[in-house]
Structure 1
Amino acid sequence: MSRAADEPVRLTRIYTRGGDAGETSLGDGSRVSKLDARIGAYGTTDELNSLLGVVLAGDCPPTIRESLELVQNELFDVGADLCVPLSVEGRLRVTQEMVDRLEALCDSFNESLPELKSFVLPGGTAVAAGLHVARTTCRRAEREAIASGLEHGVNPLVTVYLNRLSDLLFILARAANALAGADEPLWKPGATR
């Protein structure tokens, strides 16, 4: 039975045994080692998406929730882009419009936040702390996408998207604390001396 056009995948069985020898398939069907840089890049993107799921499972403010749900879906698009060699045409790719949308969200949420006069320590509310964990994972995904690009070539908008997303996650962490009326933990240089 073939898939419908709006059905991105049909999984009838989760285990395939195809990866038991340390290899997996890219989106074009080619087989590579699970240690391939592309697998690391989209694996970390998947980890980031899972962390956003944890944030969304908590007491996430509705305005932040809406943005994170959009980002979760787009992260699957990022993973789809990373798992198909750049030379394959006609596949789902990260676009400038996706980056522009992140920048608009950054500007919108940042507008009401107080100016920063110190570095922010991860914490405050559980939502803010979770967003900081997601932010650092996003930075790792970005580094792994860059490494994959050096080795295999990657859509340059993937790394731009991840870079902008880490900025948004930082801003959303600050916004989560502000919306909850929680003090923002700030770095106090040399405070333990």
Structure 2
Amino acid sequence: MTTLVIGANGQIGKQFCELAKQSGTPIKAMIRSEEQAAWFQERGIQTVVGDLEGDFEHAFEGCDQVVFTAGSGPHTGPDKTLMIDLFGAIRAADIASQHGLSRYIMVSAIRAEKPLEAPEKMRPYMTAKFAADAHLRHSDVSYVILKPGRLTDDAPTHKFASTVEEAGDNQISRANVAYALLRVVQTPGLINQEVTLLDGQRPIDALL
């Protein structure tokens, strides 16, 4: 089962791709340009060039499921959030449905269902996540939506919590998100689930 990774060149995406390669989990990394290919080629990871703001349907060929961990990033404006985090995610869901993929695994955000409660500068992003998640729930493809808290660059612990009360905070390391993503990819029977991800004390399988 080959997994297409949309957003492979991002901070979570790269960590996930490396974990997948180390574990022997077949993946295809979608990158925006050939200039990004060297890092993946050095690790023997298959790549395909695709643009979320343009053509990327060809990237799905030969894949059984898709991971969406792309993001416009904190240094872009609402226009990129609209095109990548919202419309890119929606188009990916539609293509996954059309190609009969088994699952669409979305990296969303904690409390994406309440964008007006987010800090003002984060509201366009949270609104994009809210709408993309809603579209995915009503698509024809099975899904898993992961909802990580505030992202950090801390080292992985491989220990998790599913509520702020349990965790005592609302944060999670990108490394832990990448690890959780790998476990979801490796658990094909997990469908139509939504999982909040925070740093905690439980193994990931206890959440899944």
TM-score range, shorter chain: 0.3 to 0.5
TM-score (norm 2): 0.31
Greater relative CO, 1 or 2 (CA 8 Å, sep 6+)? 1
**TM-score, normalised with respect to structure 1:** 0.33
Report the structure, 1 or 2, having the larger strand content.
2
